[in-house]
Structure 1
Amino acid sequence: MSQPLNLATLPSLPSTVEKPAYERQALRPGILHIGIGNFHRSHQAVYLDDLFNRGRDLDWALIGAGVRPGDAAMRKALEPQDWLTTVVELEPSAHRARVTGAMVDFVSVGGDGKAIVEALDDPRLRIVSLTVTEGGYCIDPATGAFNPEHPEIVHDARLPDAPKGVFGVLLGALKRRRDRGLAPFTVMSCDNIPGNGHVAMNAVAGLADLVDPELAAFVREHVAFPNSMVDRITPATSDRERSLLAERFEIQDNWPVFCEPFRQWVLEDHFPAGRPALEEVDVTFTRDVAAFELMKIRILNGGHAAIAYPAALLGIHFVHDAMADPLVRGFLDKVEREEIVPCVPPVPGIDLQDYYDLIARRFSNPDVGDTIPRLAQDGSNRQPKFILPSTRDRLKAGQDVIGLALESALWCRYCTGTTDEGAAFTLDDPNAARLIQAAGAARDNPEAFLELRDIFGDIAASAVFRAHFETALRSLWRDGTRTTLQRYLEGRLS
């Protein structure tokens, strides 16, 4: 019989479940993390749990925080289980469950970020880490530059003492610490954005420019924003995962995390206020995070986008089923090997083709249960970061982009909200209304979609890209996804 997860029941969990080897009362907070979602709990929290299990750095425990409604829901789910999380690593015929205890508190989530600002008055908190999604950094998707007209930035610049956005919260906390004579905390982004540390710094300092130029100068001179690369495939949690946990491991967890066995974290070692000894638990510290980061974003995240839209149009729900489809897998292999991987710069100690082979095996893991809707969401933020940079690089080099243009056409066709069979689905994107309108107009006039210049930028001006995009989109509407993919694989789509 399964039992609720909390500190009281922890000792009586089945012996097959790994439990913290440290006493929770021995932990002291050192990191406040904004954006407590599945990925953070399968990644950063697991690395810290590993470190604490070695008896090391027990003064670097986590405090959760957030400013979104989803953060409030997560807090409500985790509070009755004393902030414990069950993490299940999914490998065929070898599921492993562990309970992690690296988080010791969770700041109340209200209508603004005042509670987080006050929590960061604690000098023990020396790092603020972030997983606020690719779209959470208030940047112009076409240029990657900070957008001072983003609604969150406009609000927090007008009302800096009642911030609603993440970067208003960070700026308010840094100002209070400066005014009190406390050392600033390090801001550590853990989101899939090229140069995520630089992007985070531009958001905080860019907001400060609008509020107080002296504070902006302080941020640029004294606050550290290390770059990082993070990787672990972590699907969303549903009742399926909760039921599996109860049946196989006899645990009732309100919000368990299921993930693949593989994990990777590459960090720039720039932590003036100190950091935990994460190198002891296989975190890579390097001066050249950018090389690892670009490799992962282009090959893995770009690969996710490449399979998401054809699979969605074909009515495929699970990622491993998409990988088992010869046409979807064939499209992924061809566009990766011929167009994406060749324009990724060398990475020390890594063969890029071998790295892609590893990615393809990870995508094919049937036990992970990752879903196509998860990969397909938020395309207006993800395309400019994961796909279009490869397209831009190849165009600048005078190279062809038949496969990448097809990927963009598949996304356009997906944005109409129906499969090839006519089944309707919800477009999960903050710009859904605009995308649906543009995608609908593109059925008769493909260039209508490319008029989304904040997404496509200068790529839309390329005659080569426009021609391949139009050919692919017309084929998708006229003949469907399967026939279009087959033509591409046979070299007949140009």
Structure 2
Amino acid sequence: MIMQPQLPTYDRSRLTPGIVHIGLGNFHRAHMAVYLDDLFAKGLCHDWAILGAGVREGDARMRAALKAQDCLSTVIELDPKGKSARRIGSMIDFLPVEADNAALIAAMARPEIRIVSLTVTEGGYFIDPATGRFDPRAPEIAHDGANPDRPGTAFGAIVAALKARRAAGVQPFTVMSCDNLPGNGAVTRAAVVGTARLSDPALAGWIETQVAFPNGMVDRITPATGPREREMARAFGLDDPVPVTCEPFRQWVLEDDFPAGRPAFEQAGVTLTPHVHAFEMMKIRILNGGHATIAYPGGLMDIEFVHEAMAHPLIRGFLDRVEREEIIPYVPPVPDTDISDYYKLIVERFSNPEVADTERRLCLDGSNRQPKFIIPSIRDALAAGGRIEGLALVSALWCRYCQGMTDSGAAIAPNDPNWDYLQAQARAANEIPRVWLQMKPIYGDLVEDPRFVAAFTRALEALRAQGTAAVLREYIGRGAP
């Protein structure tokens, strides 16, 4: 028997747009779009529908797929007790994807658009890895500085739309990042203002003082879409080429800084608080740091799925000890949250077999993720004189993974934008471990810390001599210092 999806219960023809969202990947369609769908189903905020947009080649393919199904998205929740599917109707159109972003700029300039939101990935903010700041010299940004009326990036398009609104006397929209990176609002402000400064310093100053960029913390595990996910959609009678699967859990914590107005997010379960950074640090250290902790041992031990890694006693034991002794002790208190209970929830989420998230996905883009998710915990533990052996082992496991071969001898396909460089560094570290830590954009001055260098060196040499399983077993069995 074909299971039936839940369809929108509101009249989509009566929705009007209030948001332009750039980046219609899986996460947005399983997160922000779902929160708005919930609001619309309650009869609220029908003037806050989404206009989808994109600035990359892949966005044109997504536009074609979604326009063919009236901009409806299929979201399948992977609850171990039983899957359920929803057709999310909160997006009512997808703007043409153009090289000069003319349609996007025109839409953002419309007075009824009061929020422009983004999911352009953690690596899409043009951050200089050496400084951790926005890089105006990035080729795409430099192009937009020289061609402000024909920008190619999301940030250049936002600048052009804000310029048009200022000229027309229209209040600026709020710019809301929904990407998973620390201080996402501040990072987005730096990108928009920095791009504007290249062509119009006065406009940049106006944006800096007049445009709101609220920080937010977002969370929902959304695996990539493939044949398995499309078959799930067919089980619900839906021939959807781009369905989204996700865990039942979702969370959104947001600063309430929307001068032009906002939907009643709190009515859909969003936490509005000035303490976003506390929630954000908890999530990034415990969840994202936890993902990094289980990723590379699983990859080296030829484990395909995250729930299988969690069922492996060595990987689960490694995660538990690193979290409880080296990560959680340095996470500050979070309002109305028991951090121990939060970690238990993380373990439960990682262990969900229905999600079928892959270890390879967790291993992706370590050069961008390690500095955000692991290195800050190392620094805090060192400053407190605490234990760092497990976190040093996480770094050594990443180095060993980047050598390009699992413990069984299977080849690891490139899995980082900087794979060739990382592989060369990792292989050189076989002879001189310190070489790996000399990557300053990732480790900064940690290469000068004797405790960390010694712990990393021991871990990497042990992995080479004994293999992943034996090193994990030794670490788990080692007594407290």
Shorter chain as normaliser: what TM range? over 0.9
Does residue 1:210 correspond to 2:203, yes or no? no
- CA deviations over 1:430-464 (Å, ceiling 9, x no partner): 22221111111111111111121011112222111
Which residue of 85, 88, 92 corresponds with 1:97? Answer: 85
Written as runs of structure 1 = structure 2, the 5 A alignment for 1:240-319 is 240-247=228-235, 249-319=236-306
**Structure 1 residues 109, 442: CA separation in 2 closer, same or farther (over 3 Å shift)?**
same
- CA deviations over 1:195-222 (Å, ceiling 9, x no partner): 1101110111122222222111111100
| Partner secondary structure for residue 129 of structure 1 | strand
Which residue of 399, 412, 415 corresponds with 2:399? Answer: 412
> Contact between 2:300 and 2:468, CA under 8 Å: does it hold in 1?
yes
Does residue 1:178 correspond to 2:156, yes or no? no
Displacement of 1:339: 0.6
Paired residue for 2:385?
A: 398
| 1: CA distance, partners of 2:357 / 2:315 | 16
| 2: CA distance, partners of 1:493 / 1:203 | 44
Which residue of 85, 98, 102 corresponds with 1:114? Answer: 102
> Contact between 1:33 and 1:63, CA under 8 Å: does it hold in 2?
yes
| 2: CA distance, partners of 1:58 / 1:264 | 22
| 1: CA distance, partners of 2:424 / 2:247 | 37
Which residue of 13, 22, 25 corresponds with 1:37? Answer: 25
Displacement of 1:142: 4.9
Written as runs of structure 1 = structure 2, the 5 A alignment for 1:293-372 is 293-372=280-359
Unaligned 5+ runs, structure 1: 3-13
Q: Which moved more, 1:413-422 or 1:216-225?
A: 413-422
> Contact between 2:119 and 2:177, CA under 8 Å: does it hold in 1?
yes
Does residue 1:156 correspond to 2:144, yes or no? yes
| 1: CA distance, partners of 2:153 / 2:421 | 23
| Partner secondary structure for residue 124 of structure 1 | coil
Q: Which moved more, 1:271-280 or 1:474-483?
A: 474-483
Percent sequence identity over aligned pairs: 58
Q: Which amino acid aligns with 2:462?
A: S
> Contact between 1:156 and 1:168, CA under 8 Å: does it hold in 2?
yes
- CA deviations over 1:396-448 (Å, ceiling 9, x no partner): 22223111111111111111222111111222222222111111111111111
Q: Which amino acid aligns with 1:75?
A: R
Q: Which amino acid aligns with 2:402?
A: C
> Contact between 2:325 and 2:387, CA under 8 Å: does it hold in 1?
no
- CA deviations over 1:308-347 (Å, ceiling 9, x no partner): 1110111111110010011111111110110111111000
Which residue of 45, 49, 52 corresponds with 1:57? Answer: 45
Paired residue for 1:436?
A: 423
> Contact between 2:364 and 2:415, CA under 8 Å: does it hold in 1?
yes
Q: Which amino acid aligns with 2:457?
A: E
Displacement of 1:155: 2.2
Paired residue for 1:10?
A: none
> Contact between 1:128 and 1:188, CA under 8 Å: does it hold in 2?
yes
> Contact between 2:310 and 2:316, CA under 8 Å: does it hold in 1?
yes
| Partner secondary structure for residue 123 of structure 2 | helix
Root-mean-square deviation (CA, aligned residues, Å) is 1.6
Paired residue for 1:78?
A: 66
- CA deviations over 1:223-277 (Å, ceiling 9, x no partner): 0000101111111111111112212x12111111111111111110000010000
Does residue 1:388 correspond to 2:368, yes or no? no
| 2: CA distance, partners of 1:229 / 1:425 | 32
| 1: CA distance, partners of 2:393 / 2:96 | 45
> Contact between 1:484 and 1:493, CA under 8 Å: does it hold in 2?
no
Displacement of 1:493: 11
Which residue of 441, 446, 449 corresponds with 1:454? Answer: 441
| Partner secondary structure for residue 17 of structure 1 | coil
| 1: CA distance, partners of 2:87 / 2:353 | 23
Paired residue for 2:124?
A: 136
> Contact between 2:136 and 2:142, CA under 8 Å: does it hold in 1?
yes
| 1: CA distance, partners of 2:63 / 2:167 | 30
Paired residue for 1:5?
A: none
> Contact between 1:487 and 1:493, CA under 8 Å: does it hold in 2?
no
- CA deviations over 1:460-489 (Å, ceiling 9, x no partner): 221111111111111111211111111111
| 1: CA distance, partners of 2:240 / 2:385 | 53
**Structure 1 residues 487, 493: CA separation in 2 closer, same or farther (over 3 Å shift)?**
farther
Normalised by the size of structure 2, how large is the TM-score? 0.97
Paired residue for 1:145?
A: 133
| Partner secondary structure for residue 135 of structure 1 | coil
Does residue 1:191 correspond to 2:179, yes or no? yes
| 2: CA distance, partners of 1:351 / 1:141 | 34
- CA deviations over 1:23-53 (Å, ceiling 9, x no partner): 1111111111111111101100000000000
| 2: CA distance, partners of 1:378 / 1:85 | 27
Unaligned 5+ runs, structure 2: none
| Partner secondary structure for residue 171 of structure 1 | helix
| Partner secondary structure for residue 52 of structure 1 | helix
Normalised by the size of structure 1, how large is the TM-score? 0.94
| 2: CA distance, partners of 1:331 / 1:473 | 16
